[in-house]
Chains A and B, each alone.
Chain A
Amino acid sequence: MKLGFLVDLHLCMGCKGCEIACKVENEVPLSTWRLRVKYVDVGTFPETKRTFTPLRCNHCENAPCERICPVSALHYIENGIVNIDKERCIGCAGCVMACPYGAIYIDPETQTADKCTYCAHRVASSMMPACVVACPVQANIFGDIEDPTSNISKYIMDHNGNVQVRKPEKGTNPHHYYVGGGNVTLNPLASFRVEGHSLFNKLTHLPVGGHH
């Protein structure tokens, strides 16, 4: 069994329900996120379009974070999830540096690395990840990518040719897929990030969680 995630960006409407569900389920501290939805506006008025991209850990088959972790705090579990043992983590932040997707952060409360675990604790109890349950349009599809009869496998087959992963050139083999993605939504270098401005705040950078 290899669990994977697929987000259909055609369906996502940027409600951030997944983001909040994740925060609540995993008690993610303020100023940190396991899952976030990024808005990118494309075009020039009046021909404009807003895109929404949920971003979380990609649970790579060849995970740079697992490789660089000096104490195996980041480790694979049998179902393909890249999990984290926060009791073992020494907080070196090597994984934060190694992740090409910016998916790992230092938890300011535990002073250890943390990230999306595909809600491994829920999965172990045969429940879906919190973000999947919260999504009002079923844009999040979760399941076994090695089982051709699973929903995710069928979705990938149905959308063959329009399934993307982020940064495939890094050779990480992500187990997180997007349907309807493009350069603007999946490549952080393909959009302007205006310093000091976003819709609701003027914070552009936060100090790394916690202290030394």
Chain B
Amino acid sequence: MVHESIAATNAVVTLDVALPGIVWGWIITMNMWAKSIGTGVIFMLFYLLKKYPTESASFRFPVALVSFVFINIFLLFTVIDLHQMFRFWHIFFHPHLTSAITVGAWMATLFVGLLLLLLFTSFIKKDDAQFDKVLLWTTILAIPVTLYTAGLMAQATARELWQMPTESVQMILAATLSGSATLLLMDTFVNKLSYEAKRDLGIILAFSALAAFILYMAELVFGPMKAEEVIATLAYVKSGGEYQTMFWIGQVTAFIVPFVLVLLSIVNRSSNILKLAAVFAIGGLWVVKHVWLVIPQLLSMS
């Protein structure tokens, strides 16, 4: 472990309590992963309806449904992570608005309401014009819903690895990555998108992967130059061990492989390669998120 200890002091902890284990584990990873998909598909639908209105028209209901399902998975994992889950209603009746958790819960609830409206207008009312009006507000709200987890991580003082600016960008990139990947996979069943529309989604996927990868690499190289906690935290992905393995598996499967596959698909005009890239991106994103969530928690705070 990297630390400030120097040979001259040779300071060693000889008696202390056992340190707490991981506080926010795979349940929170599921939370972030599902939210990325839930908001990401909304961003992508908004884009497709603007650029390819005819061929993407039949995506209105399926995307609203997929978003609704994944946002509810996100909410489910949020609630089951609570040690007192039946007190969840306290957030609404005793809200503390300086907390990103509170603000996020309120926004996510409103987001679910808008998704229900989208489902209603597309499945029952079948009113595309009204759907598109609601979709605009849903897309706008999807931005802070995507970002609030970055705020929550930023509020974790001394977990210096999580900084608001980089985490915000990573959250948005995770949404565009997983959103484009999910739509590419959904087209397997809907089968309405032209190659050009799918290529656009592939390009969004590839650039999200590339940008996210560059950010992680930048954190890896330059992060330790800012704070001692970052040095110690990143040691878990630099100095061997399970998290180093997981980190690189995540980077390769979520970012490098999908980027290369998208390039190959464009060269070969192959939709199937795009779908393979989508599967890698969605699976790899979970691993990337998990490692980044866990490693700051391995550090002793006292």
Contacts and interface: CB of A to CB of B under 8 A. Distances in A.
Interface in A166-212: 166-167, 170, 172, 183-184, 187-194, 198-201, 203-212
A172 B157 contact: yes
Given A90-B87, A91-B82, A94-B99, A101 B301 contact: yes
A38 B16 contact: yes
Contacts of A67: 98-99, 155
B228 interface: yes
A71 B156 contact: no
Contacts of B301: 99-102, 188
B238 to A, nearest CB: 16
Contacts of A187: 4
A191 B15 contact: no
A40 interface: yes
B83 A91 contact: yes
A151 interface: no
A92 B9 CA distance: 39
A112 B155 CA distance: 20
A116 interface: no
Of the listed residues B3, B5, B14, B91, the one surrounded by the most CB atoms of chain A closer than 10 A to its CB is B14
Nearest to B101: A70
B177 to A, nearest CB: 25
A90 B16 contact: no
Contact of B4 (A93, A106, A172, A190): A190
Contacts of A201: 18
B124 interface: no
Given A67-B98, A170-B158, A55 B81 contact: no
A98 B84 contact: no
A91 to B, nearest CB: 3
A64 interface: yes
Nearest to A186: B302
The binding surface of chain A is classed by DSSP as loop
A40 B4 CA distance: 14
B103 to A, nearest CB: 9
A206 B21 contact: yes
Contact of B302 (A55, A88, A92): A55
Interface string A37-48: 011111110000
B20 A102 contact: yes
B129 interface: no
B13 A99 contact: no
B230 to A, nearest CB: 11
Interface residues of B, number: 54
A40 B302 CA distance: 12
A72 B158 CA distance: 21
Interface residues of A, number: 66
B136 interface: no
Nearest to A113: B83
B84 A192 contact: no
Contact of B94 (A64, A71, A101): A71
A111 B87 CA distance: 11
B18 A189 contact: no
A126 B16 CA distance: 32
Contacts of B155: 64, 67-68, 94, 98
Contacts of A9: none
B4 A183 contact: yes
Of the listed residues B11, B85, B95, B300, the one surrounded by the most CB atoms of chain A closer than 10 A to its CB is B11
A205 B12 contact: no
A70 B89 CA distance: 11
B133 interface: no
B88 A199 contact: no
Interface string B221-239: 0000000110010000000
21 contacts: A38-B13, A39-B14, A40-B14, A41-B14, A68-B99, A68-B101, A68-B155, A71-B90, A90-B83, A92-B82, A94-B99, A94-B152, A96-B20, A97-B297, A101-B302, A102-B19, A188-B299, A192-B12, A198-B14, A205-B20, A206-B19
In the A-B complex, list the 6 residue pairs whose CB atoms are closest, starting with the nearest.
Answer: A91-B83, A102-B301, A100-B158, A39-B15, A191-B11, A102-B302
